[in-house]
Structure 1
Amino acid sequence: MQIFENIKSLQIFLSEQRQKNRSVGFVPTMGALHSGHLSLLKQAKNENDLAICSVYVNPTQFNNTDDLEKYPRNLNLDKNLLENVNCDVLFCPTNEEMYPYERANGMAMSFGRLDQVLEGKFRPGHFSGVGLVLSKLFHIVQADKAYFGQKDLQQCSVVQKLVDELFFDTQLVVVPTVREDNGLALSSRNERLSSEGKKLAANLYQALQKVSDALQRGKAPEQARQEGVDSLSKYSEIELEYLEVVDKRNFMPPTDATPQVEVAVCTAAYVEGVRLIDNILVFS
């Protein structure tokens, strides 16, 4: 595995690979890698000549400095995991490399409705930071395909909008969420949970399943949503931020007038002070 910290050296390497007509699959991450990330790398490896992973904790997408400081980091372990799945290239830049200018005076991005609901509502400025760093990474790597996990479903919509609006010649590939045996979605933030916290957090997935079952039994979205909320209310240690049923196309609440579409049941909650998100898709 080749490792690059410098943008220019990575671009020179990738230019040489493109001259050989080698396709590139790209997995952008913030490190603290787990099996979910590795599933993205494996698919990128299977579908492309080169698999590239970036490990960079992007400061501009954190609206909470405490969350940024506590975000798990272990680059040496990440390197070992990437080598085990035969990742070809690791890009691990510094803040100075990615943001050579003063971040406080940096540019901002708007994603319309997506900035106003769910993650956009509860994490103001988050998607602007995501869009900014991915624009940089997409420009640097110029991958044929970029791989993201379904766990960050709303972010996937942001990425697709970014690709469409800025004409990036990169195909977005969304890979299903990888879960623990108890249903807990794999996340780098899970490292901050105790064993009991992980068991407790698995109830988020159980609540999503209750909502999904209710929807498939024909219950109205609000009734189904309430079943999920009620199931979580039994756990005082879970601080629910939101649990919503939305149209997957636009993250708006489905209405009686909405045609039969795929809906998403999305949630965010705090367990042991750690913010977790999850979702499942339902054909309504």
Structure 2
Amino acid sequence: MVIYTQKETLIQALSSAKKNDRIGFVPTMGALHKGHISLVKKALSENDVVVVSIFVNPTQFNNSADLQTYPRTPEDDISLLKNLNGEVIVYLPEVSDLYEDAVSAKIYNFGGLENEMEGKHRKGHFDGVGTIVSKLLKIVKPDSAYFGEKDFQQLQIVKKLVSIEKLPVKIVGCPILREENGLAMSSRNKRLSEIKFVESELIYKTLKEVQEKFSSTSIADLNVLVAERFLQNPHLKLEYFEIANEETLKTAKRKNKGSKYRAFIAVFAGEVRLIDNMPLN
């Protein structure tokens, strides 16, 4: 495994790869867990070389406190990646290497995808995501890039970004990995107290209940059910719950035959913000 901290040396190394080698790419913000590792393993199974970036991107945080407290564990991350079988290259840059003198996000029009759910609650977030993903894809030039479905809205945004910028890369969505209690694996889970980790099981249990009742219960009644579940728990605060069209991400008021729907949720466990989603039909 080789670690690069500067884009010029990474570009040079990748340009000397064998002509027919396939390059896979897994962009991360570090604090790696089994979910990230599953993405890297998927990439390794489909490519000759896999680049893993570790970079906490400042332009996608609309909350400075969240940026400051985001877990950073580069030594542990590198140890995890070293244990994998296959050719892994790590890109571990400083902010200046990617943004130079202007730490700012490009403004994007993602066709309305950016205005739903996370976009409503984290203004400018997807401009930051689009900016950094675009920069990284243009540096690495992968054949395929791998993203987890826990951030399903982000996955759709990235697919739209690739279409807008006409980037020659296949975007691969990968299933959510979960803790034993059902909580979606996330770097932020490391910040949960023991009691809040235990109580966060409610997120998964509630999504499963919605999934099981979706065919027989109206969307309006499901919204009420979810709100009631979280009102009963003093450790968790519901920020939003929405049932949305899986393709457009627009909030659904009623079910239309032939459409696919997904439940999306954001919950605060103290200061830690947790998101999750689940397909419904």
TM > 0.5 between the two? yes
Deviations 1:62-119 (A, max 9, x none): 0000000000001010000011123510001100101102225x53223242222110
Conservation of the 8 A alpha-carbon contact between 1:207 and 1:232: no
CA distance in structure 2 between the aligned counterparts of 1:120 and 1:102, rounded to whole angstroms? 23
Q: Which amino acid aligns with 2:174?
A: V
Q: How does 1:95-244 map to 2 (within 5 A)?
A: 95-104=95-104, 107-216=106-215, 218-244=216-242
Q: Which amino acid aligns with 1:74?
A: T
CA distance in structure 2 between the aligned counterparts of 1:258 and 1:166, rounded to whole angstroms? 32
Secondary structure, counterpart of 1:158 in structure 2? helix
* Number of equivalent positions: 280
* Superposed displacement of residue 263, structure 1: 0.8
Secondary structure, counterpart of 1:243 in structure 2? strand
Identify which range, 225-234 or 28-37, moves more after superposition: 225-234
Identify which range, 19-28 or 221-230, moves more after superposition: 221-230
Q: Which consecutive residues of structure 1, in runs of 5 or more, have no partner in the other structure?
A: none
Measured on the aligned residues, the alpha-carbon RMSD in Å equals 1.3
Secondary structure, counterpart of 1:276 in structure 2? strand
Conservation of the 8 A alpha-carbon contact between 1:207 and 1:229: no
Partner of 1:16: 16
CA distance in structure 2 between the aligned counterparts of 1:253 and 1:260, rounded to whole angstroms? 16
CA distance in structure 1 between the aligned counterparts of 2:134 and 2:22, rounded to whole angstroms? 19
Q: Which amino acid aligns with 2:251?
A: P
Q: Which amino acid aligns with 1:8?
A: E
CA distance in structure 2 between the aligned counterparts of 1:254 and 1:235, rounded to whole angstroms? 26
Deviations 1:122-173 (A, max 9, x none): 0000000000000000000010110000100000010000011111111011
CA distance in structure 2 between the aligned counterparts of 1:29 and 1:101, rounded to whole angstroms? 23
Conservation of the 8 A alpha-carbon contact between 2:114 and 2:157: no
CA distance in structure 2 between the aligned counterparts of 1:37 and 1:209, rounded to whole angstroms? 23
Secondary structure, counterpart of 1:103 in structure 2? coil
Partner of 1:276: 274
* Superposed displacement of residue 257, structure 1: 6.8
Provide TM-score, normalisation by structure 1. Answer: 0.95
CA distance in structure 2 between the aligned counterparts of 1:81 and 1:58, rounded to whole angstroms? 21
Secondary structure, counterpart of 1:235 in structure 2? coil
Conservation of the 8 A alpha-carbon contact between 2:147 and 2:171: yes
**% identical equivalent positions:** 38
CA distance in structure 2 between the aligned counterparts of 1:255 and 1:65, rounded to whole angstroms? 34
Provide TM-score, normalisation by structure 2. Answer: 0.96
Q: Which amino acid aligns with 1:248?
A: E
Conservation of the 8 A alpha-carbon contact between 2:220 and 2:253: no
* Superposed displacement of residue 256, structure 1: 4.5
Deviations 1:263-282 (A, max 9, x none): 11000010021001000011
CA distance in structure 1 between the aligned counterparts of 2:119 and 2:251, rounded to whole angstroms? 15
Identify which range, 61-70 or 8-17, moves more after superposition: 8-17
1:57 aligns with 2:56: yes
Distance 1:271 1:257, change over 3 A: closer
Secondary structure, counterpart of 2:112 in structure 1? helix
Conservation of the 8 A alpha-carbon contact between 1:212 and 1:224: no
Partner of 1:90: 90
CA distance in structure 1 between the aligned counterparts of 2:96 and 2:37, rounded to whole angstroms? 27
Conservation of the 8 A alpha-carbon contact between 2:27 and 2:54: yes
CA distance in structure 2 between the aligned counterparts of 1:257 and 1:225, rounded to whole angstroms? 13
Secondary structure, counterpart of 1:88 in structure 2? strand
Q: Which amino acid aligns with 2:74?
A: L
Deviations 1:240-279 (A, max 9, x none): 1101111100111235473322211000010021001000
1:69 aligns with 2:68: yes
